[in-house]
Structure 1
């Protein structure tokens, strides 16, 4: 089974779903494509590398957009200790 890394910042209500190999060195985002906030009723950003491979998805207003079980299982981000 493949495990998806998900982080969640409860204060910002923002989640990030990673589509990269956790064993590989981090890949720099070269292109960010914001989805139309009117069509998705919020803000969702798609991050791509230089070869246009999808690296991850940022979801703002995550509590309204993602299932609760995913947020419960996400790695919490504590901005106060960043």
Structure 2
């Protein structure tokens, strides 16, 4: 099973699930915003220039994702992270 990298910034309550090889830097060519009615918070899908999904950004992440996932995510809001 492949490992999926998840990053989380608690100060802005945003998480990102990366679907790319951690050793390869892939830039987003376009972003598709999803604003589900009644869910509260924004979810953005990022695509590379070939149309592959490279990641999903969750705003208001603490209300969208399970706590165990946020607790085990790579923290971006901690100095030295």
Q: Which residue of 2 aligns with 1:2?
A: 2
Shift of 1:22: 1.4
Shift of 1:2: 1.4
The alignment of Structure 1 onto Structure 2 pairs a total of residues equal to 81
TM-score normalised according to structure 1 size? 0.88
Q: Does 1:52 align with 2:14?
A: no
Shift of 1:37: 4.2
Q: In 1, Cα distance between the equivalents of 2:43 and 2:5? A: 17
Once the two structures are overlaid, the 10-residue window that deviates more, 66-75 or 33-42, is 33-42
| Higher helix residue share | 1
Q: Which residue of 1 aligns with 2:75?
A: 76
Q: In 2, Cα distance between the equivalents of 1:56 and 1:69? A: 19
TM-score normalised according to structure 2 size? 0.89
> Unaligned regions of 5+ residues in structure 1, if any?
none
Give RMSD over aligned pairs. Answer: 1.9
Shift of 1:36: 2.3
